[in-house]
Amino acid sequence: MHDIVIIGAGCAGMTAALYAARAGRSVLLLESENFGGQITFSPRVENFPSIGAISGSEFADNLFEQISALGVETELERVTGVRDGGTVKTVVTEDGEHDCKAVIIATGVRHRALGLPGEEELTGKGVSYCAVCDGAFYKGGTVAVVGGGNTALQDALFLSQYCKKVYLIHRRGSFRGEEQLVSAVKGKDTIELVLDSVVESLEGGGMLTGITVRNTVSSETKELPADGLFVAIGQKPDNDAFSELVSLDADGFIIASEDCKTSAEGIFAAGDCRTKEVRQLTTAAADGAVAALAACRYIG
């Protein structure tokens, strides 16, 4: 029996483990893939307070070493569900079951990928899913953004502050985002709209050098030079295993406010997997601290 089982070992999950362990609680941290989460794919992190610059993988490694030194137990197991027995919760994995007094869900999100050959290999080497995280690295360069919603429009505007040229590629002839953002994008000389178009292939060996786009109306293809490609076609939370445990919104995010409390007593949600406006490394860390302390208070 552990005091707290944390599901997901990204920044939110590991920060929750840190705070819970320092509060004297026994903690089990479960992760299905890689300790560190999405940040491990970022080549440089420059927007975390007090840290000038660090690679995402080094950031994750440091946090993992910190919680390990505090005695946090870690296991690579995929969670398939949670049984809520009131004072005792049972986290079910593909390898077994773990009883605990409180659960923190910190499963994060998966960025929707284009599904193109070489996309995974070029992630962190020209392909990115976070303009705020990586945009400054392309100062003075030429980049492309793929997407038609608010995120893509905001990314294009953000990147236009750093880059000499931003291609905004959308598969339709009009955008789904807010009209105010659309007007702002159209008013930027450095942003070129590439509408009714999809990215057909990625060019470059070890680093991205360009992209090939295909017009969905004329079927014509053309190659665009690009130092960076920012994919902004949505995020998918990894919350399917908890759909009958806690309330989810229409997009699959766990409904939880800044107190990280869910609809189920003793079940908390931290980081990108919950409903929130800003999904950044700093907000994930903040959620981890809040959720851990709330879980400690719940246990008593």
DSSP character at residue 112: P
Catalytic residue among 3, 11, 100, 130: 130
In the chain the beta strands, taken as DSSP E runs, fall at 2-7, 27-31, 73-76, 79-84, 89-93, 97-105, 109-111, 127-128, 142-146, 165-169, 191-194, 197-203, 210-215, 221-225, 228-231, 235-237, 267-269
* Structure tokens, 28: 């089990």
Q: Are 299 and 102 in contact (CB under 8 A)?
A: yes
User: Residue 133 catalytic?
Assistant: yes
User: Residue 273 catalytic?
Assistant: no
User: Residue 134 catalytic?
Assistant: yes
Q: How far is it, in rounded angstroms, from Cα 280 to Cα 269?
A: 15
Catalytic residue among 3, 11, 100, 133: 133
Residue 66 buriedness (CB in 10 A; 0-12 / 13-18 / 19+): middle
Cα-trace Rg, the chain = 21
> How far is CA 141 from its chain centroid?
25
Q: Are 194 and 168 in contact (CB under 8 A)?
A: yes
Catalytic residue among 3, 11, 134, 238: 134
Q: Tell me which residues are annotated as active site.
A: 130, 133-134
